[in-house]
Chains A and B, each alone.
Chain A
């Protein structure tokens, strides 16, 4: 895969994951069944996201303790916090499941700990994903301009050029 294609794939996948995550954060909007299945699909998307950034993860992990201050270290800490909060969200979500697990014949007993833990860890996950994206704001802005804004602008400018009468 070329660098351009890889960047475009990353961008579109990340935007889709983010939108799905924000939608999954509002179970009262989507309804519990959509919330649960979307969250399970979201976990699969996170695995794909990690696969696409595998080289970075493998590259940064051994260097973590080498330098005291560098941006990758901060990214790594934020990503780890996000990963752990995501695990808590998924575990507590499954422990509270009213649709997905009962569909498989497992009915978990309601626990307040998981209920509160689910809400708190979901908030932590949303904040950490915000920080995660904020730390990559430059990359996001540059590639959103390149792959989203510029094609649209180009499309309109082509149409305008085609619509203009020929000057003799």
Chain B
């Protein structure tokens, strides 16, 4: 029963945050469908031309690149400009390897930073202890 309540708490928090985020983005128009504001979105994400938006919309929604571009008010994108071609096994493994490398980089950086911070803290504590033992400072550790 306790576990059920905990699951409910986690799902509720995630649900409120997720639904809130979705609602805000939908109702403010930031996440409007691509056909409605392809040009606006392209400008928002810093792309050079609405063609990219049109191409994505065309590729995903199955509309022709020309048609989607006309709806979005931009240049022609081409239906296959952003569609995914099947990858070879080597390329698939390389993609997994890259994702793992990204993870491993963050892992190593965090582990090294933590170890370094702990070493610094230990050195600081040691210096503080020896200063206190020598009679410096005014803390509780000061030798009288």
Cβ distance A106 to chain B, nearest Cβ, rounded Å? 13
Is B7 touching A47 in the complex (CB atoms < 8 A)?
yes
* B36: nearest chain-A partner, CB-CB: A109
CB-CB under 8 A from B10, the residues of chain A are 47, 50-51
Q: What is the total number of residues of chain A having a CB less than 8 Å from a CB of chain B?
A: 43
Is A90 touching B18 in the complex (CB atoms < 8 A)?
yes
Name B85-110 residues within 8 Å CB distance of A: 87, 91-93, 95-96, 98-100, 102-110
A168 to B102 alpha-carbon distance, docked (Å): 57
Name A75-128 residues within 8 Å CB distance of B: 78, 83-84, 87-88, 90-91, 95, 98, 109-117, 123, 126-128
Give the interface SS of chain B, mostly helix, strand, loop or mixed: helix
Given contacts A26-B99, A51-B6, A113-B31, contact A130 B87 (CB under 8 A): no
Is A111 touching B33 in the complex (CB atoms < 8 A)?
yes
What interface size band does chain B fall in? 35 or more
Given contacts A54-B6, A130-B110, contact A112 B34 (CB under 8 A): yes
Judge if B128 is at the interface, Cβ distance under 8 Å.
no
* A23: nearest chain-B partner, CB-CB: B96
Flag the segment in A5-13, A132-140, A142-150 that touches B.
A132-140
Judge if B57 is at the interface, Cβ distance under 8 Å.
yes
Could you pull out 18 A-B pairs where Cβ atoms are within 8 angstroms?
A18-B103, A22-B103, A28-B87, A29-B96, A47-B10, A51-B10, A88-B21, A95-B31, A109-B35, A111-B32, A111-B34, A111-B41, A113-B31, A126-B99, A127-B102, A130-B106, A130-B110, A131-B109
Given contacts A130-B102, A134-B106, contact A87 B42 (CB under 8 A): no
Is A29 touching B25 in the complex (CB atoms < 8 A)?
no
Q: A residues engaging B (CB < 8 A)?
A: 18, 22-23, 25-26, 28-29, 43, 47, 50-51, 54, 71, 78, 83-84, 87-88, 90-91, 95, 98, 109-117, 123, 126-135, 137
A84 to B13 alpha-carbon distance, docked (Å): 11
Is B56 touching A22 in the complex (CB atoms < 8 A)?
no
Name B30-52 residues within 8 Å CB distance of A: 30-35, 38, 41-42, 44-45
Given contacts A112-B53, A126-B99, contact A87 B14 (CB under 8 A): yes
